[in-house]
Structures are given as C-alpha cells and as structure tokens.
Amino acid sequence: MTDSLTGSGTAVSAVLLATTPGGRLGCREGTLLDRLTGQLTTLRVREVQVLTSDGGLAADLRGVAKLARVAVGPVALVPGDLVAHTEALAMLLEHPARDTRALVAAESAVGPTRPPLRVQGGRISAAGSSFHTVPEANAAFAGVVQVGEADLGALADVAEELAELAESGRLGAVTPAEAADLLLVGLVRSGARVRPAALGPLHSTRATAQTSADAAIERLAEVDEDEVRLDRAVKSDDGFFASYCVSPLTRRLIKPAHALRLTPNAVTGISIALAGLAAIWFSAGGRGALVAGAVLFYLSFALDCLDGQLARYTRGFTPLGAWADGMADRLKEYAVYVGLAYGYLATHASGGGNPDGIWFLAVAAMILQSVRHSIHFSYAGSVWDAGQVGALWAGPVRSLQEPAAAGHGARPRQGLLRIAQRVRHGSAVHWLRRIIALPIGERTALIAVTAALSDARVTFVALLGWGGVAALYQLAGRMVRSAE
C-alpha cells in the first residue's frame, strides 16, 4: 500500500522508497523520511507517493510498477534514507527537460550505498548494483533517479521483471535498500536514455545508521547551495571569450536581475535592442561610431549570456525562450553585418554602391555562418535519431539476470575521438580547440575588435578566413564522431 501527499506544483511526482530502514532514522525534522517529504514540498512536487508495504523488495518493486502505469508526467524515485541538499534534488525535479536523469557522484565515491556507473557520451551506458557489475566504471550512483514520461512504460516493465527475479532468488542477496539501484540498472539495460546529473560539490548520501545520518546532515552545512546554484548557472563548456571576458561580469548580475524580476525573455529583448543600436552606430561608419558600435555589441553579447544564466538559475527554461534566443543570435549578428556594410559604403562613397565588394563579403559571411549552423544542428538531429533507433535495438529486460554488464551499454570510443575527450578541461589544448571552433563569443570579440580598430572590410575578411577554418574543423570532428 502507499500513502499519498498531493499538492500543486511541478509536473513531477515522487515515489519515496520508505521501506528502507534508514528512512526511520531521526533528524531535526523528525525522521529522514519527514525531512525528504519537506524538501519535496519545498520543490513543489505535485504528488508524493510513500511506499509503506512491508512485503520486502518484490512488493516495493511491484508498487513502483503500479504507480508507473498510472502516472502522468515524470516520476522521481527517492530512497527514504537519503540525506541530500535540496539543490541536488532540484537538479532533477526542476530540470525543464523533464526527461530521465540520475544523480551521479565522482568515481571515488563508489561504495556499498553508491554502486558504480559508466557515463559515456552524455548518458549512463552501464549501471551496477550488488549483483550487477560495471566494467570501466567512472562514476557512482548518488541514489535518485527521475524517469521521464516517455520511459514510464519501461520502468513498469523493469520493476515487474525485477520483482519476479527477486522473488525467485535469481538476483542473489539483494535487499529492499537496493530498489533504486536495481531500477536504474533495468532502465539502462532496457535502452532508456538516462542522462547524468553531476552532484559536483553538493552532497547526496544514504544513511545506514543514526551516526551516519547525523554526520551526513552536518556535512550539508559545509556547502553554500546558493553559490553552487550561481556557479551552475554559468556554462562550464563556453568559449574562451565568454568564460573569461563576459561570465565574470554577468555572474554578478544574475541575482540583481532575479531581484528585479526580469525574465530571461526580457533580457533577450534588451540584448536585441542593444545589437540594433550597435548596427545603427556601425552604419554611420566613422571611427567614433565604430567604437561605440563595438561597445554596444559587446554589451549585447553579455546580456545574451545573462539571459541563459538567468534561465538556468531560475530554471525558467521554455521551448519558446530557447527558440527565441537562438533566433535572436542570428538576427543580431546579421543585423550587425548589414550595419557594418552600410558604414563602409558611407565612408567610401567614391567606390560606387559596392566599394571593395563589401556587400559580397557581407553576404559571404552570412552564408558561411548559415552553413556552419546547418552542419551543427543537422548533426545534432542525426545523433538524436540514431539514439532513438539504437533504443529500439537495445538488449531485452531479461538481461537483468546477468551479473556482468559486459555487452550492455555503448562501446567505449577509441582512436582520435577518445584522445580528444581525454583533453583536460581548462588546459591550453582545450581552450585552443574551443577558440578554433569560433563560437559566438569569439565571433563577437572578432567583430568588435576589428571594427573598432580597423574597418568593416577587415572584419568580414577575418570572419571568412577564421570561419572557413572553423567550418573545416567542425566538419572533420563530425566525420570522426560518425566513423567511431
């Protein structure tokens, strides 16, 4: 049987696996289970189902299957003995994608209550339990998994299959405390795309005794959750210019913007307006106008970074906002191209209507950028389609009877791609690769600096030269990924 706590909030429901003994351990809020219920209420979870069956692991798994069959929207599976930062739970429950994700800790955290995982290519390719092993593990499961609506059928099937295996003793000496671990194993082996949500400095620990529960709660105070939230709002995989010349400024603006109740879409609108002003100043063509346009274009890009950071901080992502932000980037950049070309025409009137082929250069720059974006987005769509096809050919649920994970999950990448992935984040080689790709931050800097110090023709020639190299680099990378 289950106890149900219903309220209004997010589209996510939560299942508290309360039969784990640790859920009855004491804390300031009463029990660990009471503490978790309070955290889920704070996160405005729509409904909390507390499994109260005393029938052991099989009964718990059948309870999960029953709930998965009737659930509307994502379902989060949370062990009742969990001690975690609210921000750690929010990474799953408030993520706008509402897809299937699991909390993941560093490989060094693997232990009895943190089974091993292999994370590869932005997904969990293998998961373990006390019965299932994971070769080449590089992460640990931190206890919580959210199952997206599209995977609820798979969750129900996996839970029922596991219940039968547990009753027949074919899973060895597994305990009710391993319900979440086993369900994650089943989801991964069924072909569900489970994305990792890295804990980073946050804590998520399962308590096995009162002393470990007290210690885990004390550790929570060591981390400033709001600072972690601010840090996570800033993209860790941005370009060099955005990371070092923009984000240090915009990070300080996130909380003031939130206090002013500015929405990400409102910030995007202001960014577009500044880019429009930059294009107008560029169209004047004089040195002072070019410098003013360069400054306005930099500020426009800074706000373009801020809108994404604000969206991540407030978790206010919307499909419309994402689409508008992407379209705004192209609109602003191309408007600046037109402004620069008009400005060059205004200061080179003796060259006729197309001095030095400035309009040809502007159009060529637009076409090159359009081709580059087409390569990027068409490849991303192809990867998604391939993933969907791969899920259809994934191994059946009966593989849960196999103790070893060999043969399950994606094959480790070899060759050039694996070498590239081992490049340490933040190293000189890492940043060189990012710079060569000419992301929007580097393009903004290139446009602003060349326009302010020289003229539009130099700007377009630089964009075409560097952009051509970036397109070849991008295409080569896609080919290597496809081949491996």
Please state the rounded mean pLDDT for residues 98-106. Answer: 94
- pLDDT-derived band at 78, boundaries 50, 70, 90: very high
pLDDT in tens, 178-210: 999 999 999 999 999 999 999 999 999 998 889
Burial of 473 (0-12, 13-18, 19+ CB in 10 A): middle
Cα–Cα distance between 123 and 482 in angstroms, integer?
Answer: 17
pLDDT at 31: 87
Percent of the residues in the chain that have a pLDDT greater than 70, as a whole number: 82
pLDDT at 410: 44
- pLDDT-derived band at 145, boundaries 50, 70, 90: very high
Residue 392 pLDDT more than 80? no
pLDDT at 157: 96
Please state the rounded mean pLDDT for residues 443-448. Answer: 97
Residue 398 pLDDT more than 50? no
Please state the rounded mean pLDDT for residues 471-477. Answer: 88
- pLDDT-derived band at 1, boundaries 50, 70, 90: very low
Q: List Cβ neighbours of 394 (8 Å cut-off, separation of 6 or more).
A: 189, 190, 191
Tokens of 483: 């081949």
pLDDT at 149: 94
pLDDT at 384: 45
pLDDT in tens, 303-329: 999 999 999 898 876 666 666 777 888
- pLDDT-derived band at 399, boundaries 50, 70, 90: low
For the ranges 26-30, 141-145, 149-153, 349-353, which has the lowest average pLDDT? 349-353
pLDDT at 142: 94
Q: What is the pTM of this model?
A: 0.80
Residue 335 pLDDT more than 50? yes
pLDDT at 96: 83
Q: List Cβ neighbours of 181 (8 Å cut-off, separation of 6 or more).
A: 115, 127, 128, 129, 130, 141
- pLDDT-derived band at 23, boundaries 50, 70, 90: low
The larger pLDDT score, comparing residue 50 to residue 232, is at 232
pLDDT at 401: 66
Please state the rounded mean pLDDT for residues 92-105. Answer: 91
For the ranges 28-42, 264-278, 382-396, which has the lowest average pLDDT? 382-396
Residue 9 pLDDT more than 80? no
Residue 8 pLDDT more than 60? no
pLDDT at 438: 94
pLDDT at 480: 73
